[in-house]
Amino acid sequence: MNFLNPNHNRKALVIFSGGQDSTTCLLQAIADYGVENVETVTFAYGQRHAIELEKAKWIAQDLGVKQTFIDTSLMKAITHNALMSEQEIKTGDNGLPNTFVDGRNALFLLYAAIYAKGQGISDIITGVCETDFSGYPDCRDVFIKSMNVTLNLAMAYDFRIITPLMYLTKAQTWQMADELGQLDYVRHHTHTCYMGVEGGCGECPSCKLREKGLAEYLASKK
């Protein structure tokens, strides 16, 4: 039994945005697979909080993992939402926040899988979560499982989509970072603000969820 190499040089591809969740997943992947066996893929889809891309580039370089950027900004021509424009962030008549990007995670997983197969990688890690989330349908476990089956059938390849945060609250995600010895790293180097404000605006849904989770976790440690 080789505890120092539990995945036996199996390789992983992390869908990486530079935000809290994907960075925590990346740090966990490095711990599980070894930095030499981890790659990242980052998508530029026309997001207005493009500071994430800068953070993602810096973190990938700092942690020493290969990063591949994929331009999916064509999405701006076929869908409209508050993450890809300057419109006010609010909840729509359908109950979904207008920050929801139709098809985003399906497209990300498809492109990540195409890239992963070309690199001989079968493990794809994504930080989606259906516990503390905004009601996005493409963050649900049922969607991820169905997409896993679809990709395997589409490419005749044994993909394994891994979602380490699926059933964690934001407080538990902070706990995960802390147990990896990386709480301060995630706290100070990641970006999740929808408004693209350095350090967070403190008012958008993403900032509120992040800070609420951090406060809950820090309070639980006292």
Q: Which residues contact 19 (CB under 8 A, 6 or more apart)?
A: 52, 55, 127, 190, 191, 192
Instruction: At 101, list the tokens.
Output: 């990007």
Does the annotation flag 123 for ligand binding? no
Q: Is 72 marked within a binding site?
A: no
Is 181 annotated as ligand-binding?
Answer: no
Q: How far apart are CA 205 and CA 187, in angstroms?
A: 17
56, 21 Cβ separation under 8 angstroms: no
- Alpha-carbon gap, residue 33 to 42, rounded angstroms: 19
The answer on whether 193 is annotated among ligand-binding residues is yes
Q: Are 98 and 92 in contact (CB under 8 A)?
A: yes
Q: Is 24 annotated as a binding residue?
A: yes
CA angle at residue 210 from 123 to 130, to 5 degrees? 50
Is residue 23 part of an annotated ligand binding site? yes
Instruction: Please calculate the CA angle 11-45-52 and round it to the nearest 5 degrees.
Output: 70
The label of the residue with tokens 């603000």 reads: 193
Does the annotation flag 204 for ligand binding?
Answer: yes
Q: Has 129 been labeled as part of a binding site?
A: no
Q: Is 20 annotated as a binding residue?
A: yes
Q: What angle do CA 39, 44, 47 make, to 5 degrees?
A: 135
139 annotated ligand-binding residue: no
Paired strand residues for 70:
43
Q: Judging by beta carbons within 10 Å of its beta carbon (0-12, 13-18, 19+), is residue 62 exposed, middle or buried?
A: exposed
List the binding residues for ATP. Answer: 16-26
Which residue numbers belong to the known binding site?
16-26, 193, 201, 204, 207
Known binding residues for Zn(2+) are 193, 201, 204, 207
